[in-house]
Amino acid sequence: MKKLALITGGTSGLGYACATKLAQHYDLALAYGSNEEKAILAKSQIQANFPECRVELFKGELNGHKTAQELYSRVGEQFTNSPAILINSAGRLRDGLFLNMDFSVQEEMVQEHLLTTMALSYLCLKNMYKEKFGRIINFSSVSANYFKKGQVGYACVKSGIEGFTKCLAMEVAHRGITINALAPGLIETPMTQKMVDELREEKSLRKKIPIGRAGRPEEVGELALFLCSENASYITGSVITIDGGRSLGDNSV
C-alpha cells in the first residue's frame, strides 16, 4: 500500500507544487480553503499526469485544533491508512501596519498558520510514532528572520513555526520521524505575481536577489520531495532557506 501524504493548501501555490512532486510516489489528501473549481482542476491535472496516484480533496478553512481535528477525521474516513507525511502549507499573507489592523487579524494568523500546524502535527504524529516512520514539513518564510514593516503577525507565526519544528524534532527523532521547515523567499506564485512583475519592471530583481530571478514553485516541491525520502532520513530539525540568496544581503523585498 502506498504511503499517504496530507498537504494543506495542496491545490494552489507551493502546496500544489509539493503535491505534483509527491504524486510520483504517494497517495494524496489535499486540503483547500474555498476555491472548489481550482481544487477540482488541480486534482484532475495530478491524476492525468500520475494515474496511479489516488487524490482526494478536503474542503474547509483551517483555523486551529477543532478544524484540524475535523480534517483529520475526514481523511480517515476516505483512506484506510493514516498520513505518513504531513506538509503544512496553508496560510494567508495579510500585510498591514500593526496598529492599523484590527487585532482579530493577528489572532486569525496565529490560528491559521501556527495553531493549525501544531494541531495537525499532534494528530498525525500519534500514528507516525506507532509506525516508527513519519515526515513533517512545515512552511516558514524568510520573513521569520528578515523583517519588513507591515508583517508583524506574519513574522511572529513563522518564527513560532521554526521554534516548533526544532523542538518537536528533538522529541520524536528516535522514532524515525523527521520534522523540518522550508523558508522560501520570493517564489513566483499567484499570491506574489504582482510583486514579481513590479520588480521586473523596475529591473531590480538582480539587486534584491543575487541569483537574479524569483524562485519557481517546482524548486520548492523538489526539495519537499527529497525531505520525504529515505535519502533525507538524517535531516531533522532544520530550517532550509530557499531564496536565491536574498537573505544574504538586502532584505527589503
Q: What is the CATH number of the domain that holds 154?
A: 3.40.50.720
Structural domain count, the chain:
1
Question: Please, what sign has the CA dihedral across residues 5, 120, 113, 180?
Answer: negative
Statement: residue 95 has pLDDT above 90: no
Q: Which is nearest to 194 in space by CA: 212, 214, 211?
A: 214
* 248 belongs to a structural domain: no
Cα distances from 199 to residues 94, 234, 236, 243, 253, in angstroms, run: 20, 38, 35, 15, 9
Strands 239-242, 177-184: pairing is parallel
Distance CA 139, CA 182 (A): 5
Q: What is the pTM of this model?
A: 0.94
Segment holding 29, helix H or strand E: strand 27-32
Which residues, in sequence order, are CB contacts of 125 under 8 Å at separation 6+? Answer: 134, 136, 172, 177
The CA-CA-CA angle for residues 179, 18, 217, to 5°, reads 115
* 231 belongs to a structural domain: yes
DSSP code of residue 210: T
Cα distances from 192 to residues 60, 117, 134, in angstroms, run: 23, 22, 31
Confidence at residue 246, expressed as pLDDT on a 0 to 100 scale: 87
* 250 belongs to a structural domain: no
Confidence at residue 83, expressed as pLDDT on a 0 to 100 scale: 98
Distance CA 80, CA 11 (A): 22
Residue 124: pLDDT band (50, 70, 90) is: very high
Distance CA 191, CA 52 (A): 30
Which residues, in sequence order, are CB contacts of 187 under 8 Å at separation 6+? Answer: 14, 214, 215, 216, 217, 219, 220, 242
* 247 belongs to a structural domain: no
C-alpha cell at 93: 499573507
Confidence at residue 250, expressed as pLDDT on a 0 to 100 scale: 54
* 62 belongs to a structural domain: yes
* 252 belongs to a structural domain: no
Statement: residue 112 has pLDDT above 90: yes
* 42 belongs to a structural domain: yes
Statement: residue 167 has pLDDT above 80: yes
- The catalytic residue positions are 154
Confidence at residue 253, expressed as pLDDT on a 0 to 100 scale: 45
* 72 belongs to a structural domain: yes
Of 147-151, 171-175, 186-190, where does mean pLDDT reach its minimum? 147-151
pLDDT in tens, 191-208: 778 878 877 777 778 788
Range of the domain at 143: 4-242
Task: Show the DSSP H helices in 8-151 as ranges.
Answer: 13-22, 36-49, 65-78, 103-109, 116-131
